[in-house]
A = this chain, B = another copy of it.
Amino acid sequence: MLRISKMTDYATVLLARLAAAPDRQLTATQLAAQSHLAAPTVSKVLKQLHRRGLVSSTLGLRGGYRLARPAAEITAAQILDALEGPMALIECARATHQCSIESTCGVGRAWQRVNLAIRRSLQEITLVELAGLGGEPVRFAALERALRGGRAERT
């Protein structure tokens, strides 16, 4: 199905809310209310985002969360990595792969290239675009550039 988890989806929504109010500091409760999500779940996601350095937090009374850096410097790939770990379409594409037939099947290599292409495109999409703040829609030009750059060997 090639899907991202709900948590990652939630994370994007929450980050988009934070991006829309860069100067303010929002609590987990506020974000939950804005997003119509359950408070404990929101809290969990924000904690994870903090752990991975995408948001900064203030403890105690009047505490809350805000983006750790400008929305333009947060990419879709970073969000995915933060919530789900480094993405890999198939096991073969991961660092420690052990495939007895890889030398003959060649499929792994092909998937790896697809994997890389998708990954690079996700690195070019920023939170600004995901949050719809840029005015313009997602820049597919960026996608193209990423893919073109990924083609190490010329055709």
Contact = CB atoms under 8 A, between A and B. Distances in A.
Interface of A: 1-4, 6, 9, 12-13, 16-17, 35-36, 76, 80, 84-92, 100-101, 105-107, 109-111, 113-114, 117-118, 121-122, 125, 129-132, 136-141, 143-144, 147-148, 150-151, 153, 155
A110 B90 contact: no
A90 to B, nearest CB: 5
A36 B98 CA distance: 13
A86 B2 CA distance: 9
Copies in the complex: 2
B4 A89 contact: yes
A109 to B, nearest CB: 7
Contact of A4 (B6, B36, B84, B90): B90
A106 B130 CA distance: 7
B143 A117 contact: yes
